[in-house]
Amino acid sequence: MALAGKRILIIIGGGIAAYKVLELIRRLREAGAELRVVMTASAKHFVTELSVASLAGGKVFGELFSLTDESEMGHIQLSRDADLLVVAPATADLLAKMAQGLANDLASTLLLATDTKILAAPAMNLRMWLHPATQRNVTTLRNDGILFVGPEDGDMACGEYGPGRMSEPATILAAIDRALQGDTTLALPLEISAKSGGLLAGKRVVITSGPTHEPIDPVRYIANRSSGKQGHALAGAAAAAGADVILVSGPVALPDPHGVDTRHVETAAEMRAAVEAALPADIFIGAAAVADWRVAEAAKDKIKKSPKAPAFSLVENPDILAMVAQHGSMRPRLVIGFAAETSDVIAHAQAKLARKGCDLIIANDVSADVMGGDENQVTIVTEMGLETLPRLPKDEVARRLTLRFAELLQSLQAVAPLAKTRGGSDA
Ligand code: C5P
């Protein structure tokens, strides 16, 4: 983390998500950042100045025309002194003020009176977020170079579901770190696109997720530790980007992602059939941990315990990713696989890229606490090279990967029809 000694000015807007900023402040201080905090008048309805000041370890600023504040430090100096301004929650009102260049309170004045980088973490009701006025403001702000993290899809305090939830403190912290390191591509809101309703609007995306269960008898099965969290997060992110998403899910303990056509399967054979039925597609993402083998003949009745342990003969399962990648005319424009390895992660991923005939492999080291955990650290492996993302919550990994996939699809479409001839022999 590049946070130690960095001067960060946090501007807290007036929204229910303001309570999450307390946690963000705590984490920033732990990471060694030097904080100054400004609260809008409405922010003080949601969190108290006392809690913010105690956690931030200093005075909280709020008044534009405060004689005492002004004598200690001119308000312009507040934002000039900072390495980064973070607006969280960035309410519809604050974003509108920023987009219009209004300066009628301390927060908006500081945001206008600076050329320091600004990171905004929007939070609002989904209808406010999706309103053309807010989308227009966000497009303006993006063009002005404002960085965004979130918002996420999720349950809202008002009881609705959709985009508008402020990103979690860990995600904002990671975004702050990236912003300080000069990353200008981070976490663009996927719904935003100049012309259409999303970066993947009109595109069809098929994703596999979760483990498969291969029966031994009616009560026992072969499985693995995949939770499906990353695959499901990708399905949610692709849907948020406007894609028509079919998620073929093995048995998982997760709810079906919002706005996604989820088809439930148990075995690799069922997963393959469901994927075949879902094609054609523009993008295929094989995020499932498909069992490599199944028992040749599952017993019809429960196998009884006996002194002699039963012997099973295993047969190989169909490789769904390789099948899709080598599907001739039905091959999606972009075929993406995952490589979960415990050693030589990149070398294995590069070999897999060639063997399976896909365009990208997302490599992740599952020797750490990744399988079943909430965070992931991935490297995007292509024929052109590697791109390593930092360790991030799986939702944020999904958002960033989806952005990359959308960019790649756009660049492929700019090229004449692609004749894919690459392929492997282990299909
Ligand atoms: O060969 P390996 O299992 O390591 O490859 C992992 C990638 O291949 C993942 O994207 C996974 O979804 C996909 N796969 C598949 N069908 C299999 C095995 C793996 O689609 N039978």
Beta carbons of 299 and 221 less than 8 angstroms apart: no
* pLDDT at position 254: 95
Answer whether residue 190 shows pLDDT above 70.
no
Domain(s) of CATH 3.40.50.1950: residues in the chain: 7-180
In terms of Cβ atoms closer than 10 Å to its own Cβ (0-12, 13-18, 19+), residue 225 is exposed
Q: 214: Cβ below 6 Å to ligand 1?
A: no
Lowest mean pLDDT among 175-184, 272-281, 375-384, 409-418: 409-418
**Residue with the nearest Cα to atom 13 of ligand 1?**
321
CA quadruple 273, 278, 279, 284: dihedral, nearest 10: -100
How many contiguous H segments (helices) and E segments (strands) does the chain have? 14, 22
* pLDDT at position 77: 79
Beta carbons of 43 and 31 less than 8 angstroms apart: no
Answer whether residue 51 shows pLDDT above 50.
yes
Q: 241: Cβ below 6 Å to ligand 1?
A: no
Task: For residue 358, indicate whether it is catalytic.
Answer: no
Q: 337: Cβ below 6 Å to ligand 1?
A: yes
- Per-residue pLDDT tens for 287-338? 999 999 999 999 999 999 999 999 999 999 999 999 999 998 899 999 999 9
Q: Please tell me whether residue 427 adopts helix, strand or coil conformation.
A: coil
When pLDDT is cut at 50, 70 and 90, the band that residue 2 belongs to is: confident
Which strand (E) or helix (H) includes residue 365?
A: strand 360-365
Q: Separation of 290 CA from ligand 1 center, angstroms? A: 6
Q: Is the pTM of this model over 0.75?
A: no
What does the block give as tokens for 336?
């993406």
Percent of the chain with pLDDT over 70: 90
* pLDDT at position 426: 33
Q: 339: Cβ below 6 Å to ligand 1?
A: yes
Answer whether residue 418 shows pLDDT above 50.
no
Answer whether residue 204 shows pLDDT above 80.
yes
When pLDDT is cut at 50, 70 and 90, the band that residue 197 belongs to is: low
- CATH fit for domain 204-299+310-414, picks 3.40.50.10300, 3.40.710.10, 3.40.50.2300, 3.30.70.2190: 3.40.50.10300
Cis? peptide before 218, omega within 30° of 0: no
Answer whether residue 63 shows pLDDT above 80.
no
Q: 286: Cβ below 6 Å to ligand 1?
A: yes
Pocket perturbation via mutation, ligand 1, pick of 226, 320, 355, 365 by most ligand atoms within 8 A of CB: 320
One-letter amino acid for residue 329 of the chain: S
- Per-residue pLDDT tens for 23-36? 999 999 999 999 99
Catalytic hit among 41, 73, 158, 354: 158
- In degrees, to the nearest 5, what angle opens at C-alpha 163 toward C-alphas 158 and 165? 60
What does the block give as tokens for 248?
């073929």
Q: Separation of 116 CA from ligand 1 center, angstroms? A: 45
Instruction: Give the mean model confidence (pLDDT) for residues 194-202.
Output: 67
The CATH homologous superfamily for domain 7-180 is Flavin prenyltransferase-like (3.40.50.1950)
Beta carbons of 243 and 204 less than 8 angstroms apart: yes
Q: 338: Cβ below 6 Å to ligand 1?
A: yes
The single-letter DSSP state of residue 251 is: S
- Per-residue pLDDT tens for 284-297? 999 999 999 999 99
* pLDDT at position 366: 81
Instruction: Give the mean model confidence (pLDDT) for residues 396-407.
Output: 86
Answer whether residue 201 shows pLDDT above 60.
yes
Rounded Cα distance between 356 and 68, Å, is 67
Pocket perturbation via mutation, ligand 1, pick of 232, 319, 361 by most ligand atoms within 8 A of CB: 319
How much of the chain is in helix, strand and coil states, percent to nearest 5? Answer: 35, 20, 45
Answer whether residue 198 shows pLDDT above 80.
no
Neighbours of 76 (CB within 10 A): 12
Domain(s) of CATH 3.40.50.10300: residues in the chain: 204-299+310-414
